[in-house]
Structure 1
Amino acid sequence: MGKRKNNNPTPTVSGEFPIGIFVEPSPSATSDATYAEIRAMNANFIVAQQLTTPATTDWALEKAEANQLKILVTDTGMRWIQSEWISQNDDDGEGVYLRKDHSIGQTFTTPGVDDLSLAILSFKKNGAWPEGIAATLSVYDSPSKEKHIISSTLIGPIESHYPEFRLNDMPVKPDTPHYPVAANTTYYMELTTDSQAELGPFSTSAADRYAGGQAYVNGSPASYDLYFQITLKTPHGGSISAFSPTGRPSDAYIETLVDHYKDHAAVLGYNLIDEPFGELYPMLKETSDRIKALDPGRMIYTNHYALNEEGTHYYSLEGTPPMGYEDYYKNWIATNPDMISYDYYPFKKEGFDEKVHYQTLAFFREQSLLNGLDFWAYIQSVAYDYFHILEPNEPQMRFQIYSTLAYGAKGYVYWTYCTPTGADPELAQIHDAIILTDGSKNETYEYAKTINGEILNIGSVLLSLTSLAVYHTGVVPPFTEPLPEDFFWQLAGGESAVPLIISYFENETGRKFIMVVNRDLEQAQSLTFSLSAELQAVQEVCKSTGNEIATTFHAAEGTLSVSLAPGDGRLYALGES
Structure 2
Amino acid sequence: MWQEETIGVNGKGFILVLIIALIFLLVPNHAKASGTGSFEVGGYWQPPIYVGGDYNTNAHWANIAAANIDIITGIHLWNGVMNKAANETGIANSYANNVKLQVSDSGITGKQTFTPADITALQTTLTPYKSDSRVKGMNIIDEPSAYEMEGFANTYKQAKAFAPNIDYYVNMLPSVTDQRVQAPYGKLFLSNSGARGSSSSVTSTHSLGQTITIPAGVTYLDGVDMYIDATQWSSTEMLTLKLWDSPSKTFLMSEALALGTGLTEGWDYYHYFQLSKDVTPLTTYYLELVHNGGGNNLIGGVTRSNTDVYAGGAAYENGAAQTYDFFFRLYTTRDNQGTNYENYLDDWIQYSGADYMLYDNYPFLFGSSDNSSYFQNAELVRGRGLANNVLYGGFLQSLDGNSRTVTMDMMRWNVYSLLTYGMKKMNWYTYWRPDPAASFPGTPVSENGTLLPRYTQLQTLNSEMRKLGGTLKDLTSLRVYHTGTTLWTGTKFLPPNFFVKPASLAEPMIIGYFTNASGRKYVMLTNRDYTTSKTLDFNFNPKPGSLTEISKTTGLEVSVPGYNAATGVLNLTLSPGEGRLFALPAGFTPQLNLAAEAVVSATSSLESSSTGWGKILVNDDQRNTVTGSLGWSSNSSIHVNHTESITMDLGASKTFGEVDLFPRNDTGNVGRGFPIDFTIQVAASSSGPWTTVVTKTGYPLPGNSSQWFTFTPVTARYVKLEGTNLRVSAGEYRMQLSEFEVYAAPNFAKGSLVTSTSSVENADWGVAKLVDLTRNSVPGLYGWSSSSNTSTNHTESISFDMQTSRTISRVDLYPRNDSGNVGLGFPIDFTIKTAANAGGPWTTVATRTGYALPPGLEQSFTFTALSARYVKVEGTSLRKITTEPGQPYRMQFAEVGIH
Same fold (TM over 0.5): yes
- Tell me how far apart the structure 2 counterparts of residues 342 and 389 of structure 1 sit (CA, whole Å): 24
Change (3 A) 1:6 1:504: farther
Residue identity in the other structure for 1:524: S
Q: Is residue 45 of structure 2 the alignment partner of residue 23 of structure 1?
A: yes
Paired position in structure 2 for 1:361: 378
Q: Which residue of 2 aligns with 1:486?
A: 497
Q: Which residue of 1 aligns with 2:422?
A: 408
Counterpart in the other structure of 2:154? 286
- The residue aligned with 1:317 is 266
Identity %: 30
- AA aligned opposite 2:268: G
Shift of 1:291: 1.3
Q: Select the structure with the greater relative contact order (CA < 8 A; seq sep ≥ 6).
A: 1
Could you tell me the TM-score, scaled by structure 1's length? 0.65
Structure 2 CA distance for aligned equivalents of residues 395 and 249 of structure 1: 51
Q: Residue type matched to 1:328 in 2?
A: Y
Shift of 1:523: 0.5
Q: Does 1:70 align with 2:100?
A: yes
The equivalences for 1:446-525 within 5 A come to 446-474=456-484, 475-492=486-503, 495-525=504-534
The residue correspondences of 1:172-571 to structure 2 (distance < 5 A) are 241-243=110-112, 250-309=118-177, 311-313=178-180, 317-319=266-268, 324-335=340-351, 336-383=353-400, 388=402, 390-422=404-436, 428-474=438-484, 475-492=486-503, 495-551=504-560, 552-571=562-581
SS in 1 for 2:136: strand
CA distance in 2, matches of 1:313, 1:256: 31
- CA drift of 1:541 comes to 0.4
Q: Is the 8 A contact 2:548 2:583 kept in 1?
A: yes
Q: Deviations over 1:272-312 (max 9, x none)?
A: 11111222222223222321222124332210111122x33
What RMSD over aligned residues (CA atoms) do the two structures have, in Å? 2.7
Amino acid at match of 1:252: T
1:438 offset after TM fit, Å?
A: 4.2
The structure where helix makes up a greater share of residues is 1
2:83 matches 1:53: yes
- Separation in 2 of the partners of 1:468 and 1:342? 21
Bigger radius of gyration among the two: 2
1:574 and 1:432 map into 2 onto residues whose CA distance is 39
CA contact (8 A) 1:383 1:430 kept: yes
The answer to whether the 8 Å contact 2:346/2:388 transfers is no
Q: How many angstroms apart in 1 are the aligned matches of 2:406 and 2:266?
A: 32
Deviation per residue, 1:333-390 (Å, 9 max, x gap) = 2212221111111202333435311111101111111111111211111246xxx384
Change over 3 Å in CA distance of 1:248–1:274 after alignment to 2: farther
Q: AA paired with 1:299?
A: D
Could you report, residue by residue, the CA deviation over 1:22-68 in whole angstroms, capped at 9, with x for unpaired residues?
11111211111000001111001111113832123221111011101
Q: Using the TM superposition, name which of 29-38 and 314-323 deviates more.
A: 314-323
Q: 2:70 pairs with 28, 41, 44, which one?
A: 44
Distance in 2, matches of 1:248 and 1:521, equals 52
Q: Quote the residue 2:61 is aligned against.
A: 35
Q: Which residue of 2 aligns with 1:119?
A: none
- Secondary structure of 1:571's partner? strand
Aligned residues: 400
Instruction: Provide the C-alpha distance between the structure 1 equivalents of 2:63 and 2:547, rounded to a whole number of angstroms.
Output: 37
Q: Single out whichever of 249-258 and 30-39 deviates more from structure 2.
A: 249-258
Give the CA deviation at 1:431: 2.8
Cα deviation per residue 1:302-329 (whole Å; 9 max; x = unaligned)? 10111122x3356582535799323322
Deviations 1:484-527 (A, max 9, x none): 121111112xx321101001000111000000111111101111
Give the distance between the partners of 1:383 and 1:419, measured in 2 at CA.
12
Separation in structure 2 between the aligned mates of residue 413 and residue 328 of structure 1, nearest angstrom: 21
Matched-pair contact (CA < 8 Å) for 2:534–2:575: yes
> Deviation per CA, 1:82-126, whole angstroms, max 9, x where unpaired?
xxxxxxxxxxxxxxxxxxxxxxxxxxxxxxxxxxxxxxxxxxxxx
Q: Kindly tell me: are residues 15 and 261 of structure 1, through their superposed partners in 2, closer, same or farther at Cα, counting changes over 3 Å?
A: farther
Give the whole-Å Cα distance in 2 for the aligned partners of 1:563 and 1:264.
49
Report the 3-state secondary structure (helix = DSSP H, G, I; strand = E; otherwise coil) of the residue aligned with 2:345: helix
Give 3-state SS (helix, strand or coil) of 2:518's partner. coil
| In structure 2, distance between residues paired with 1:313 and 1:399 | 29
* 1:318/1:294 CA distance change after superposition, 3 Å: closer
Structure 2 residue ranges without an equivalent (≥5): 1-26, 183-264, 273-338, 588-899
Following superposition, the deviation at residue 545 of structure 1 comes to 0.4
Q: What is the identity, as a one-letter code, of the residue corresponding to 2:501?
A: Q
The answer as to whether partners of 2:398 and 2:428 remain within 8 angstroms in 1 is yes
2:564 is paired with a residue whose SS is: coil
Q: Deviations over 1:172-203 (max 9, x none)?
A: xxxxxxxxxxxxxxxxxxxxxxxxxxxxxxxx
User: Residues 35 and 293 of structure 1: is their aligned pair in 2 closer, same or farther, counting only changes over 3 Å?
Assistant: same
1:312–1:324: 8 Å Cα contact kept in structure 2? no
What is the rounded CA distance, in whole Å, between the counterparts of 2:32 and 2:44 in structure 1? 21
Asked if structure 1 preserves the Cα contact closer than 8 Å seen for 2:477 and 2:513, the reply is yes
Q: Which has the higher strand share?
A: 2
* Alignment deviations for residues 520-569 of structure 1 (CA, whole Å, 9 cap, x no partner): 11101111111124411110000010110000211111111111110111
2:665 aligned residue? none
Post-superposition offset of 1:391: 4.7
